[in-house]
Amino acid sequence: QKEVEQNSGPLSVPEGAIASLNCTYSDRGSQSFFWYRQYSGKSPELIMSIYSNGDKEDGRFTAQLNKASQYVSLLIRDSQPSDSATYLCAVKGVGSWGKLQFGAGTQVVVTP
């Protein structure tokens, strides 16, 4: 079983709609969760971090965390063509000295 799982996509989203990305993780003791955006040929860029159960909003992005279900999600509202990228879910486990476990990423394609 992979430690961090994401649907690979591609997730096709009409411009202006909401993109919903999901991520599950296996380490129940994980405390820190991150979403990165990676454009093709570029390195990942941190867009959201979340540490507590519930929702965290930052502009058009909302991260949701449910530790009981071992589930973290990312919503992108009012999707724009510039949001087309691969979104990586990353989880920091207990005692991992900061090592992040990455999911394989979900490719999002926003269509005009």
Q: Which is nearer to another protein, 25 or 36 (CB)?
A: 36
The amino acid present at 33, given as its one-letter code, is F
Our finding on whether 43 is near another protein (CB under 8 A) is yes
Please count the other Cβ atoms lying within 10 Å of the Cβ belonging to residue 39: 12
Give the per-residue contact string, 49-88, with another protein (x = CB under 8 A; - = no): x--------------------------------------x
Q: CA dist 57 to 9, 25, 33, 54, Å?
A: 24, 21, 14, 10
CB-CB contact of 88 with 21 (8 Å) = no
CB under 8 A: which stretch of 17-25, 45-53, 57-65, 77-85 binds another protein? 45-53
The binder of another protein chosen from 16, 18, 45, 53 (CB under 8 A): 45
Candidates 46, 52, 77, 80: give the one binding another protein (CB under 8 A). Answer: 46
* Contact code string over 9-28 relative to another protein, x by CB under 8 A: --------------------
Q: State how far the alpha carbon of 16 is from the alpha carbons of 2, 57, 60, in Å.
A: 33, 18, 11
**Which residue type sits at 16?**
G
